[in-house]
A and B are shown apart, each in its own frame.
Chain A
């Protein structure tokens, strides 16, 4: 799906936990996430900490959308 969205001409960022799969599929902007069943959260944290974690990760995704890339790029911390 990420590749078809890109092909349609819309910049897209893929947020996922298993980065090697995203690379194999062909995503260009990739933000690694927390865990498979809760990519943008962590039930072990308090509600507030979890919210901050999610905001940080999605913020990184927004940053990735603003960043020019010329190939597959993983946006780590």
Chain B
């Protein structure tokens, strides 16, 4: 019987939501949560012998968390380790990617995880572990398990996987030699003919898309500059007047803080559903530092704090949406004469 260890977060372990995101790593015997579906999909060929779980915030904030997780996994001497899947959850994706990469590197055990295309964990770890492509939310769990379980079995048996496109994982960057029926020159001409005819063709070597923006020059005279605050941490006036969604935000808000010296629990709150809101609601300056920016303004460290701040919720929000938000409000920032931005994220 193939021995599997499953890594999940506090939510899937049934411990709780964001209020429990700070729990340290723990291990339980057998399967928990989504492990049940994996176990069923193994059809008796493999079994989840233990499940290791950790709070997503704890994992991302404590460098030693990964060592504890690895030690807990090592005790089980598994044939394969499955992490997640994490779908589009950023911190969970980083945790799954870190555990999968480190287990593979340190213990030499094959590892497998699953994520949505836009999860930051994909770019961080796709060259270090196999990451199967999944939907963006847990609604895609059944499909993800159906895709991941057979791949996991084959990896545990030491079988070689097919190409990324055929198996459904993110390309790892490793190239393998193989024999094609047609030689390269013929394939290239075929491709060219299709291109000339305006037909669809598939490149054999997609160019990586690096969307990098060069840094702007430093601000020369901050003491006379207008500085604006922007946040993806969801700080909004109490009552969330624009109804910014707690996850997958479809819009942002623009809020006037002219004359506001400090954010209080009576006037502002967070709309973000992806972290424990207790601390931000008690003191919103912990996410949007209006109080100290006012002090820097009075001290002449900055020219002025812009009258408006912009806020959205960066929780499973599509990259395309975030791009559109910032593209729109950056034009307003420029029109307002803003010369520098501090953007805070949770």
Binding site for B on A (CB under 8 A): 1-18, 20-22, 24-26, 28-29, 33, 35-41, 43, 50-51, 54-55, 57-59, 61-62, 65-71, 73
Contacts and interface: CB of A to CB of B under 8 A. Distances in A.
Interface of B: 18, 21, 57, 60-61, 90-91, 94, 120, 123-124, 211-220, 222, 227, 230, 232-233, 275-280, 282-283, 285-287, 289, 291-293, 295-296, 301-302, 312, 314, 322-323, 325-327, 330-331, 333-334, 338-346
B233 to A, nearest CB: 7
B57 A36 contact: yes
A18 B91 contact: yes
Contacts of A40: 285-287, 289, 344
Contact of B330 (A5, A41, A62): A5
A36 B212 CA distance: 25
A1 B325 contact: yes
Nearest to A71: B215
A65 B338 CA distance: 13
A28 B326 contact: no
28 contacts: A1-B230, A1-B323, A1-B343, A4-B327, A5-B333, A8-B326, A9-B216, A10-B330, A10-B341, A11-B339, A11-B341, A12-B216, A12-B341, A12-B343, A15-B342, A16-B344, A21-B94, A37-B275, A38-B280, A39-B233, A40-B285, A41-B279, A50-B286, A54-B286, A62-B302, A65-B342, A68-B218, A69-B215
Given A10-B340, A65-B340, A26 B211 contact: yes
B61 A66 contact: no
Contact of A5 (B90, B219, B296, B326): B326
Contacts of B61: 17, 35-36
A65 B225 CA distance: 11
Given A16-B345, A17-B60, A58-B296, A1 B326 contact: yes
A55 to B, nearest CB: 5
Q: Is the interface of A mostly helix, strand, loop or mixed?
A: mixed
A8 B334 contact: yes
Given A11-B216, A26-B211, A58 B289 contact: yes
Nearest to B217: A68
B324 to A, nearest CB: 8
B345 A10 contact: no
Contact of A38 (B120, B216, B287, B341): B287
Contacts of A25: 120
Given A26-B213, A39-B233, A5 B343 contact: yes
Nearest to A4: B326
